[in-house]
Each structure stands twice: as structure tokens, then as C-alpha cells.
Structure 1
Amino acid sequence: MVLRGGEVAAETWFAPYEPDQTQRMFSVSKAFTAMAIGIAVGEGLLTVDDRVIDLLPDKLPDVVSDNLAAMRIEHLLTMTTGHDKSSMDGIGMNLSRPEDDWVRAILAEEAPLEPGSRFVYDTGATYLLSAILHRLTGQRMLDWLAPRLLEPLGIRTATWEQDRAGIDVGGFGLAITTEDMASFGQLLLQRGRWGEAQLIPHEWVDRASQALAGIDPQGWEGDWAQGYGYQLWRCRTSAFRADGAFGQFIIVWPEHNAVIALTSASSVTQEILDLVWTTLRFGEPGDGGETYAPQLSLPLPQGAATSSHEDNALVRRDGDLLEITHRGVTLRAAHGRWFVDDTFGTAYAWEDDATLRVATHLLGTPFGWTGTATFGDGSVELAWTQNVTFSGETSWTESVLL
């Protein structure tokens, strides 16, 4: 979705994804956490100079190091906490471990560097901001933000993952729609103002979008080497952005009075940003250059609708749908279109009578899989490929007896 002057210039979604579906934002969530802190600062709940140990006194390790004692809200916002690696390493970012006290585990991680001396990308710093706001307000951050930010922007279906203590995880876990992303970007473009209301102090947005921390020690290149503000990244152009894994972007480009919201599924996200910088051409708003694109589709499997191999333990015909069951999971797939249920969008085609091609996407995420099932005499060979992943294999094969 592209906005010029607050108006939609172009937008499209690729089926099976749809406009009203929320999508996991991954680290775009961090920008919302930073703006929540800015609102809290504006309300007098805390300052950027407050010490972390004073805000979370009951979660401290037995021995408080000098560097931990010197860590302040500003350092959490700019990821210059004094850690030389992600403080999330101490908890494994595992939402299902009820024995873990995330706050205590992160504060127990050694911080060998002087706070403010070095940028190290650290989702744990953002989580601590959420935990501190939770402590100060007595509310989860999502609920606290609702009347102050989300509802004025028309964001009504947002969700946020929580740890077992009920704290929104802050650095990831937010799910919103593309339009919600664009609205948030427009708010940042307008320096925190929405209509007649100043939702975020404009001084906060101005500072948050500047390069406050250099990225050089991290060794990153391209748009990741331009500097980091309050959970926002500078770009090689005059723009700044909120940035999430696999290409979730809210790009704010004041020079062109533009906002670009993108949800993607790519392991090479610099290529996406390169396309934004090299292909978008801005005339004057309202000069007739704007377009309104229809909904498109991700590539569908190509081939026949039926085969002689459609009545066995793996595949079974159900009207005009095909049911594929494997490892206790049943996918219902359509031919020539996507069949969408509450979880997946799935399509199929028979490349030949013995070869089934399936594509499926986990809705609300960038994750998708394509696979082939090649039927032989009493068995079938399966080959699957996953589009993006944080770790592990992206393709695998197996043989199944029928």
C-alpha cells in the first residue's frame, strides 16, 4: 500500500492473502513499543534518563554490575545497553516455557560494555521496555495503547503475543493489517499528529527517526548501515522505516510525503528495499499518476484437476476440493484458485497423472510451502520446500507407504 499526502495511491494484496487479514509484524512491533514509551514520557510516567534497575528493582540479579546500574531507558530504545550479544539468548525467546521469568533472565545477562558505547541488535531491550510500561501502568501494552494510539488510527483487530507473565513481548508478536501499518506510518509522517490530536509528542517522533546509534560494529551493509533511532531504522534515501523479518516494512518518506507498507516473504529483504528506491516515481499528488491496483494472486500450481490417484491415505476427493492428509494435518485444496480456511490458503494441480503439486500458505504469516507427491506402486515420494525460515532446513523429502 502506497500513500501520498495521506491518500491511497496504490494498493494490492496477493491471494490467498486478503486486506482484512492481520499479519505477524515480527520486529515492526518494536516501533509500536517505542511510540508507547514516547506517549508514556509525554504523560510523565518516566523519562529516557531513568535507570532500568530503579524501574524493575525486584527483578535484579544478586550482584548488580556497574554497567547494569548505568543502563537507562535511552539505552534500551537505541539498543546500546552494554550487551555484546542479544540478551534474549538467555531465555531462548520461547513463549512456552512457564518457568522462565523473562525480565529476571535478561537482567541477569552479562553486560560487559559501557551502556551507550556500542549498538547490538537486541530484542531483549525492547521486551524490557514493554515490561517497564506494564509495571508503570498495570496494563498490558496493547490495552494501554488502545485508547491512546490504536483506536484513533482505526486499528481494531490488533493482537500481541505475551509471555507467561502476561507481558506483551514488545520486540515481536504484534499482528495488524496492511492498512493498519499504513495508518501508523502516516502518523509518523505527521510527527505524531492525527486530525486535531497530538497522539505522540512530535519531539519524540523527530528524535526516534534520527540516527542515534551507528551500526558499524555490527558489520551490516546497505539500508541496515544507515543508523538506528528509537527502534526505527534510517534508510539510504531520506526515509526511515520500521523493519520486520522476511520483509515486513513501514517506510516513511517525508521528502515525497509518502508512506509505503509492505508485507513480504523474502530471505533477501534488501532486494525489496532496492525495488522501492529504484521503481517508485513520485509526481505531484493528484496529478493523475496514481493507480489503484486490483487484487492479484501468488503463483498457482499448474496442471490437471483430477487423477486416478485420488482415493488413498494421502489424498481424497471431496467435491471440487482435494483433501491432503499427512502427519495428522489435513489440507483442503482447490484447483485453479486458493481454498482459504481459518489457517491456510491451499491450491493443487496434477502435473501428470502420478504427480501432485501442492502450494499452501499459513495465513497471517509469511510462511509458505510447495510440495510434490509422486505416486508409485504402493508408495508415494514427498518433496517439500519452505519459502522462508529462521533456522533449519528449507527442503526435505520422504517416502510414505500407502
Structure 2
Amino acid sequence: MSKLSLNELEKKLKGIRIEAFVIHKGDTRIYEYLKNKKVVEKPLKVNSITKSIVSILIGIMVDKGLIKNILESIQNYFPEILESNDPQKKEITIFHLLTMTSGLQIGNFQGSKNWVKYILEQPIIHKPGSTFQYNSGDSHLLSAIIQKISGISTASFAEKYLFHSLGINKYTWLKDPQGVNGGGFSISLYLEDMVKLGRAIKKLAGWER
């Protein structure tokens, strides 16, 4: 990128609500924008990047054989689905949650006393697998599945199999009323730890040069 284009980028970043923005090329940081110096001193709420982290953890579970098939029905983890009057709910798979194609109606589960129960009680408005809907509820169900399979919290699983290997030691991860780490938007990370995570994903995907 040219110096002129980076200057234009910075002007745009200043005009919107961006706390920090960095660009790496290999091991070299070629651009850095910080709203202020305090940005690097506290964990930043990374909102829906939480979804990506949860998806990575599902991938780790598959790699370790803890999940045999992402095409399996989630009724194996939420038996209450068997009591549903809607047979289509039994068709929802882990893959559908990962791709946000569960077909469940999007609801304001954050205001409920039991997030997982509220999400599962939403009606099916699209056949599972047929329609993409950006839905934090799907991601929260994934976090609940991670906890059910591992027997520990999603955060503890992340620490053991992802964070520690990357040197991520400080973060906050909010939980729902039942103690399930939020799957859709609940993590806060330090800027440099976000860089570590991003670079690790690039390497795994073969994008790092």
C-alpha cells in the first residue's frame, strides 16, 4: 500500500468508531492506527469476532475427535428438541449453526433468563440449511455444545487448546445466566492478542507469506 492510500485510510478510520486498526505483512507491521494510547492498555470488546473464535474451537473439537461429524443433529446435545412440536428442529445440525442456516427465528435472547432455552424455543421460519440469517443465537448454541462435550467452560477449553499456545493470557468472556460463555459477541481481547489470533488463522489457512 502506498503512503497516500494509508493516509486516506487513516482519515476514514478517524471518521468512524474504530478503536484500533493494524496491518501486518508477514512479521512486519506496516500500518497502525490507535484512537489513543489507552487502547493498548485494556481488553477491547471484539463483538462478533467471538463467533469466529467459537467456530475455531468447534474445528479443534473435530480435529481431536470430540465431534465425529458436524452434520450430526444438535438434538444429540439438546434433547429438549425431541419434545418440540416442530419436526424440522430435529434437522438442525452443527453445520447449520456454523453457517447460520439453522432456520430458527432470530430473537432477543439476551433479555431472557435462559439463553439456550429461549433460542431453541424460537419457531423455524426457514427450512434448516436453506437460508442464511446472521444469528448470534446459532453461535451461542455452539458454545453450549462445546461446554457439554468438553465438560468445562468454552473459555477453559479455549485456554487449553487455543489461547495458551498463542500466548493469550488475559481476556474477559461474559457468560449467560446458566454459565455458558456467550458464543456470539461476549469476548474482550487485547489488541496484540487479536494480532496473534489473526496471524495464526492466516498461517493455518496458508495465507501467511
CA distance in 1, matches of 2:190, 2:25: 19
CA distance in 1, matches of 2:34, 2:42: 10
Gaps of 5+ in 2: 1-21
Taking structure 1 as the reference length, the TM-score comes to: 0.44
CA distance in 1, matches of 2:99, 2:45: 23
Bigger Rg over Cα: 1
Verify: 1:75 aligned to 2:96, yes or no.
yes
Measured after TM superposition, the shift of residue 19 of structure 1 is 1.5
CA distance in 2, matches of 1:136, 1:161: 20
Q: Which residue of 1 aligns with 2:76?
A: 54
Measured after TM superposition, the shift of residue 16 of structure 1 is 5.3
Task: Give the residue type in structure 1 aligned to 2:31.
Answer: A
Measured after TM superposition, the shift of residue 13 of structure 1 is 2.1
CA distance in 2, matches of 1:141, 1:63: 27
CA distance in 1, matches of 2:93, 2:85: 14
CA distance in 1, matches of 2:39, 2:24: 19
Kindly report which structure 2 residues correspond to 1:214-293, keeping only aligned pairs within 5 A, or say none: 254=207, 257=208
Taking structure 2 as the reference length, the TM-score comes to: 0.83
Matched-pair contact (CA < 8 Å) for 1:6–1:186: no
Which of 153, 157, 162 in structure 1 is aligned with 2:166? 153
Deviations 1:316-341 (A, max 9, x none): xxxxxxxxxxxxxxxxxxxxxxxxxx
Structure in which a larger fraction of residues adopt strand: 1
Task: Give the residue type in structure 1 aligned to 2:70.
Answer: V
Deviations 1:204-236 (A, max 9, x none): x58xxxxxxxxxxxxxxxxxxxxxxxxxxxxxx
- Structure with greater contact order relative to length (CA < 8 Å, sep ≥ 6): 2
CA distance in 2, matches of 1:113, 1:29: 25
Which of 31, 39, 46 in structure 2 is aligned with 1:25? 46
Deviations 1:45-102 (A, max 9, x none): 1121111111111x3373242210100000000001113x41x33x2x13xx5xx222
Kindly report which structure 2 residues correspond to 1:26-175, keeping only aligned pairs within 5 A, or say none: 26-46=47-67, 47-57=69-79, 59-60=80-81, 62-83=83-104, 85-86=105-106, 88-89=107-108, 91=109, 93-94=110-111, 100-175=113-188
Matched-pair contact (CA < 8 Å) for 2:55–2:98: yes
Structure in which a larger fraction of residues adopt helix: 2
Deviations 1:82-135 (A, max 9, x none): 13x41x33x2x13xx5xx222121111111321110001110000000001111
Matched-pair contact (CA < 8 Å) for 1:67–1:112: no
CA distance in 1, matches of 2:57, 2:87: 28
Q: Percent identity?
A: 27
State the Cα RMSD in Å: 1.9
CA distance in 1, matches of 2:132, 2:36: 39
Task: Give the residue type in structure 2 aligned to 1:120.
Answer: Q
CA distance in 2, matches of 1:13, 1:171: 25
Measured after TM superposition, the shift of residue 189 of structure 1 is 0.6
Name the SS for the 2:24 alignment partner: strand
Measured after TM superposition, the shift of residue 177 of structure 1 is 1.1
Matched-pair contact (CA < 8 Å) for 2:82–2:90: no
CA distance in 1, matches of 2:184, 2:172: 13
Measured after TM superposition, the shift of residue 174 of structure 1 is 0.3
Deviations 1:224-249 (A, max 9, x none): xxxxxxxxxxxxxxxxxxxxxxxxxx
CA distance in 2, matches of 1:101, 1:40: 25
CA distance in 2, matches of 1:183, 1:161: 21
CA distance in 1, matches of 2:192, 2:58: 23
Q: Which residue of 2 aligns with 1:283?
A: none
Cα distance 1:139–1:64, how it changes in 2: closer, same or farther (>3 A)?
Answer: farther
Name the SS for the 1:36 alignment partner: helix
Task: Give the residue type in structure 1 aligned to 2:73.
Answer: R
CA distance in 2, matches of 1:27, 1:18: 19
Task: Give the residue type in structure 2 aligned to 1:109.
Answer: Q
Measured after TM superposition, the shift of residue 150 of structure 1 is 0.5
CA distance in 2, matches of 1:42, 1:67: 29
Verify: 1:15 aligned to 2:45, yes or no.
no
Gaps of 5+ in 1: 192-204, 207-253, 259-402
Matched-pair contact (CA < 8 Å) for 1:51–1:70: yes
